[in-house]
Amino acid sequence: MSKRKQPAVVDLFCGIGGLSYGFVSEGFDIVAGIDNDTSCKYSFETNNNSKFITKDVNNINGKDIDELFGNEDRVKILVGCAPCQPFSSYSFRQKEKDESKWKLLYEFARLIEETKPTIVSMENVPLLLHFKKAPVFSDFCDRLRKIGYFIDYKEIFCPDYGIPQRRTRLVLIASLLGDIRIIDKTHTPENYVTVKDVIADLPSVKAGETDKNDSLHRARALTPLNLKRIKATKEGGSWKDWPETLKLECHRKKSGKSYSSVYGRMKWTEPAPTMTTHCTGLGNGRFGHPEQDRAITLREAALFQTFPKDYSFIDETKAYNPSVISRQIGNAVPPELGRVIAVSIKKHLKEFKKI
């Protein structure tokens, strides 16, 4: 379809563009991404043929969004994933909450009220549904319904949609046109995409090495002690496989038994664990390669997040900080999840003859 007829999408909290890329793959036009993290600009713009606007959502109003959409007679879609740290499992265990953080979702609702795009999508962590101290999600839905939106939302277990990691996300889509639905599951446990499906064909690298043909296929170095630990860990295993001489003091305590995945290896025949901002560190979860004696590389993390191999994360003419790239990858919406949302919206727009 011509660009004038393509639905126009503005991506709030866009990061490096995982959500946007899913929409691009389904023929949507990403007119802009907005985020206050300037380190994401290169990846977002390079891969999504769009412009990155460095701005805090608290300082944006409806007029700003309307100007990005333009005056053309196009379907307007506002999407976003507000940073989810205030709704994480860790945050739920803390007695004191930073109320300014969950205000981001209220800011998202404000912008929807001020712009009234045809379609809205919001993606976040499932615990948002159970946040009792501040009912931010129910407030968000109530505000949308009051201005005429039809809403559908559900918790999506990513392997059910072909995403090779055990990530569960809350996805909401809403429309001013009428009833809208998230598409049905595309996979079952019998055909989940596994670790082996995703990374088995990559070249072997050792801890501390980088593949000469792929600067992103880079494994963090290990201390001699941690190298002994990973060698003592079987596929799918963890620190529980180690002899007592290799265990940390915290593992010997009763409370340490709850951290069963720390220093763990993945299993070839299952989806990977949820990618986090520290997923390339061996001690941060079950991020050990199934058989090579190292943690997963940046490339492997990106593939588990369903970024294609040609997605550009770094400007090869400049030095880069691997920790920054790891954070960007871990924070990203998996592009394939973005595509699931885009397919759901495209199906809806076709039903209402808007595309």
- Which residues are known catalytic residues? 84
Measured CA to CA, the distance from residue 222 to residue 76 in angstroms comes to: 49
* DSSP collapsed to 3 states, 227-249: HHHHHCCCCCCCHHHCCHHHCCH
Amino acid at 37: D
Instruction: Tell me the HSE value of 274 on the side-chain side, using a 13 A CA sphere.
Output: 12
Cβ-Cβ contacts under 8 Å for 224 (sequence gap 6 or more): none
Would you say 294 and 219 are in contact if contact means Cβ atoms under 8 Å apart? yes
What is the β-pairing status of strands 52-54 and 150-157?
unpaired
Length of the chain: 355
143 Cβ contact partners less than 8 Å away, ≥ 6 residues apart: 109, 112, 113
Quote the DSSP letter at residue 280: T
Residue 51 to residues 10, 31, 47, 129, 287, Cα–Cα distance (Å): 10, 7, 10, 32, 34
Strand partners, 52: 33
Q: Hey, what amino acid is at 328?
A: Q
- The backbone torsions φ and ψ at residue 202, rounded to the nearest 5 degrees and listed phi first, read -75, 150
d(CA 257, CA 260) in angstroms, rounded, equals 6
Neighbours of 40 (CB within 10 A): 24
Distance CA 299, CA 277 (A): 14
- CB count in 10 Å sphere of residue 234: 13
| Helices and strands of the chain, counted as H and E runs | 12, 7
Let me know the angle formed at the C-alpha of 305 by 279 and 291, rounded to the nearest 5 degrees: 55
